[in-house]
Amino acid sequence: MAQDDYSNDGTVDIKGNPANKKKTGNWKACRFILGNECCERLAYYGMSTNLVNYLEDRLNQGNVAASNNVTNWSGTCYITPLIGAFLADSYLGRYWTIASFVVIYIIGMTLLTLSASVPGLEPSCDKDSCHPTTGQTAAFFVALYFIALGTGGIKPCVSSFGADQFDETDETEKKKKSSFFNWFYLSINIGALIASSVLVWIQMNVGWGWGFGIPAVAMAVAVVFFFLGSKLYRIQKPGGSPITRIVQVIVASFRKYRVQVPADKSLLYETAEEESQIQGSRKLEHTDKFKFFDKAAVETQTENIKGLSNPWRLCTVTQVEELKSIIRLLPVWASGIVFATVYSQMSTMFVLQGNTMDQHMGPDFKIPSASLSLFDTLSVIFWAPVYDRIIVPYARKFTGHERGFTQLQRMGIGLVISLVSMIVAGILEVVRLNFVRENNYYDLEYIPMTIFWQVPQYFLIGCAEVFTFIGQLEFFYDQAPDAMRSLCSALSLTTVALGNYLSTLLVTIVTKVTTRGGKLGWIPDNLNRGHLDYFYWLLAILSFLNFTAYLWISKWYAYKKATELERKMFSLKAINTSFAPTNHGFFHTRKPSNTKNSILFLCKSNDSDSEAPPPEGDTKKQELLAKIAMLQAQKVRLTDYLDERSAYLTQFAEEANAEFDKIGEDALKGLDEAGARIMENIESQMQAFEESAELNRTEIEKNDNKVADFEVQMENDRNEGMFFKNLGQKAPVDKAKAKEEAQKIKDLTNAKAGSKTRKNIYLALMGVLGIVIADSFLSSSPDWRKVAVLGAILVGLITQFSYEQRLASDIERAEKEQTDKEK
């Protein structure tokens, strides 16, 4: 099978084999993913949209308690995706994370249905109110938080898992990936539309058992949809813990806090290969922000010499830029919290406000207040294509940007629209309260004012959602490091969680402050006697302050950049029109500010689809040329890298040679000093030996004189006839004395000149010096000065040794002659 039949992005099939493009992925796999997402969102919104009314009607909670419980639970649903994202990116992968958590999800939905329909778990109710027990309330909340945990493994993974079904290295599939997100968000809103209309009506008019049971069945269908497509999925292997990589950069930076970052950032550590050492990630270009963390990529002398690759001490530039990307995302992420707070009002304050208004459509049909959220869904369905087909082309004429607006501009527009929605909601509440006061409707359950006056605020929230939430989804996917996309998707979802928690906090504080002194406060159980409009004004003020901070953040933010190699490669591709990435790709560049610094625009609008495609032969030719250009770019980069490392090794070798020369000079100097000391000792010993030898010669001469005198005395005695007499008396005494004197001479001579130990020492010294001289002489670069010094020492030793041996030989000969004379 041809190599082109397999994906080039590292994905595998369910069996772990390389993914075959013809048998896996693409739209044939995405149908199951989109069906799963539609059913899952139907189940989620089917039980969450009207949850505040269930808490009030069946669990007997007031407006504040019910509102806080809903926002707390909703917040948890958007916090738990951090758990699922971490497991997906680090260990399980997206497929197995979804498969595991979907089981938890359906258990929670089943338990929720039982708590609202099975006697003993369902609260008992009479005509006036319900009377839930502690156990029944606990069972209900256990089910809710099982659902929150289950959705945590699905929310951050589904969109990225769907995008994995398209090979980013294949231009054809890459264009399909950009349209996948549109269909994905559409499937979400189809599920939400059914939930906010049909299911809410069933809950309010048929029963809560059916109202929660249908979402549970929908969730079961979602599970079936997901597992039916298992053989068709392309699965991306997990790339290791992103949290670990982030901590490694932080630890390495603080370990090297005294290290100076080089001015030439190309000297920072990065692997020589084209791909990053992080699985599933491209290399990132160095940026100048947060320079402290660059210390983690500085190669110290110890790491250069020992070749250390400990990631807790030395990190790549891409790994450092991953951390920088996350840090840069945080201010943008934080600016979405207030928007999420405004968004959460649809399921709390908007519903409570609608509960006080006329909900009838005609004389018989009554629409639940929670069902008005379907206008938010209709708004999204309306504004999404309008934005793509009308607003973007029109804005492009003025901004010159391929996408009409940058991602940050798009989100900023959504923040402004959310501010307007709070103003509209506040104006409606002012009008409603004036109507109540004018007609004294304080204790009327439903005032004669149609609930459809709420439609504008829902519609504006939906419009803001198209700009901010979809822009946020695109922004976090595009700006996230490749191996952290699930984690960053979860991070974007946590804005909704914190927005719900902030809403809970605001409601709690407002209630505590405004009810002092026995007052009813802004949000009493009877809203006709409260001031919900003040709460809307508070949210409008917070939205304005948040937008002001967002303007500064947008000006400060720097978009993620690919490496120089990738920019060169895609600039070469941009020369021919057959290479035109879509406007959802990551090859986006900002508009040039002047001609000197201008760059190629690599983004291409969807409107260019009307151009005639190139012939098939030309396409293959251009693909071949692009591959050649890519290989040439790789060759250039590899050559530059080798030149850089060669220059570094040359410099290191020069430094090492200089160090060795210094060590050699110090050693030679020490050797000269040692040689001088040795010569001095030898000279002093030779002088002492000569003095001793002179004394020995004097003693020998004296002995010779004594022997001569003795011989004269013997001759005289013989002449006088006393020879035998004198010989018997004196000869033994004189002979013993002569032997004693001769022995002294022998002992002295042996001690001074003829001892074997001294002889061996001389021989050992001469041998060592001879070896050292031969080694220096035979080396590639002999040090003649060293050879000369050691040669002089060796000659001195040989001379001294020869002299002492000759002297010992003379003494031995003289002693032998003396012995012969005595005999």
Report the pLDDT value the prediction gives residue 525, as an integer from 0 to 100.
83
Indicate the pLDDT class of residue 608, thresholds 50, 70 and 90. Answer: very low
| Domain residue extents for the chain | 1-240, 329-561, 563-606, 675-822
Cα 456 from Cα 277, distance rounded (Å): 52
Report the pLDDT value the prediction gives residue 563, as an integer from 0 to 100.
53
Average pLDDT of span 618-641: 67
Give me the helices (H) in 440-484, please.
455-479
Q: How many CB atoms lie within 10 A of CB 787?
A: 17
DSSP letter assigned to residue 612: P
The full DSSP string for 262-318 is PSSGGGS---SSSS-SSTT---B---SSSGGGGGGGPPPHHHHHHT---TTT---HH
Is the pLDDT reported for residue 416 higher than 90?
yes
Is the pLDDT reported for residue 734 higher than 60?
no
Average pLDDT of span 382-405: 81
Is the pLDDT reported for residue 291 higher than 90?
no
Contact 403, 591 (CB under 8 A): no
Average pLDDT of span 249-261: 87
Is the pLDDT reported for residue 675 higher than 50?
yes
Is the pLDDT reported for residue 758 higher than 90?
no
Most confidently modeled range among 533-542, 690-699, 743-752: 533-542
Report the pLDDT value the prediction gives residue 473, as an integer from 0 to 100.
77
Can you tell me which residue has the tokens 């398209």? 166
Report the pLDDT value the prediction gives residue 52, as an integer from 0 to 100.
84
Residue 579 tokens, joined: 């290479």
Alpha-carbon Rg of the chain, whole angstroms?
Answer: 48
- Between residues 660 and 376, the one the model is more confident about: 376
Indicate the pLDDT class of residue 592, thresholds 50, 70 and 90. Answer: very low
- On the question of a common fold for 1-240 and 329-561, the answer reads yes
Residue 495 tokens, joined: 């804005």
Nearest to 181 by CA among 590, 482, 578, 583: 583
- Between residues 154 and 280, the one the model is more confident about: 154
Q: How many CB atoms lie within 10 A of CB 204?
A: 21
Tens of pLDDT, residue by residue over 259-276, are 888 888 777 888 776 666
Report the pLDDT value the prediction gives residue 678, as an integer from 0 to 100.
67
| Residue 206, SS3 per DSSP | coil
Residue 398 tokens, joined: 């003025």
Cα 637 from Cα 631, distance rounded (Å): 10
Average pLDDT of span 233-253: 83
Is the pLDDT reported for residue 739 higher than 90?
no
Q: Phi/psi at 12 (nearest 5 deg)?
A: -130, 170
Report the pLDDT value the prediction gives residue 656, as an integer from 0 to 100.
64
Indicate the pLDDT class of residue 461, thresholds 50, 70 and 90. Answer: very high
User: Is the domain 1-240 a CATH 3.50.50.60 member?
Assistant: no
- Between residues 232 and 767, the one the model is more confident about: 232
The residue type of 528 is: N
Report the pLDDT value the prediction gives residue 542, as an integer from 0 to 100.
94
Average pLDDT of span 636-646: 68
Q: How far is C-alpha 692 from the geometric centre of its chain's CA atoms?
A: 84
- Between residues 424 and 359, the one the model is more confident about: 424
Cα 99 from Cα 102, distance rounded (Å): 6
- Between residues 324 and 580, the one the model is more confident about: 324
Contact 376, 462 (CB under 8 A): yes
Tens of pLDDT, residue by residue over 699-715, are 667 766 776 776 676 66
Nearest to 147 by CA among 95, 99, 76: 76
Residue 555 tokens, joined: 């000006």
CB proximity list for 802: less than 8 A, separation 6 or greater: none
Tens of pLDDT, residue by residue over 127-143, are 778 888 888 889 999 99
Residue 484 tokens, joined: 């952290």
Indicate the pLDDT class of residue 483, thresholds 50, 70 and 90. Answer: confident
Which range, of 116-125, 194-203, 494-503, 710-719, averages the lowest pLDDT?
710-719
Calculate the average pLDDT of the chain.
77
Indicate the pLDDT class of residue 719, thresholds 50, 70 and 90. Answer: low
Report the pLDDT value the prediction gives residue 18, as an integer from 0 to 100.
84
| Residue 751, SS3 per DSSP | helix
Nearest to 527 by CA among 732, 315, 369, 298: 369
Say what the pTM is.
0.58
Report the pLDDT value the prediction gives residue 648, as an integer from 0 to 100.
66
Tens of pLDDT, residue by residue over 70-106, are 878 887 888 888 888 888 878 888 888 998 999 899 9
Helix (H) or strand (E) holding 447: strand 447-450
Indicate the pLDDT class of residue 610, thresholds 50, 70 and 90. Answer: very low
> Per CATH, which fold does 329-561 belong to?
Growth Hormone; Chain: A; (1.20.1250)
Contact 387, 223 (CB under 8 A): no
Average pLDDT of span 211-234: 88
Report the pLDDT value the prediction gives residue 361, as an integer from 0 to 100.
82
Report the pLDDT value the prediction gives residue 221, as an integer from 0 to 100.
86
Indicate the pLDDT class of residue 163, thresholds 50, 70 and 90. Answer: confident
Q: Work out the percent of the chain whose per-residue pLDDT is above 70.
A: 73
Residue 69 tokens, joined: 């419980």
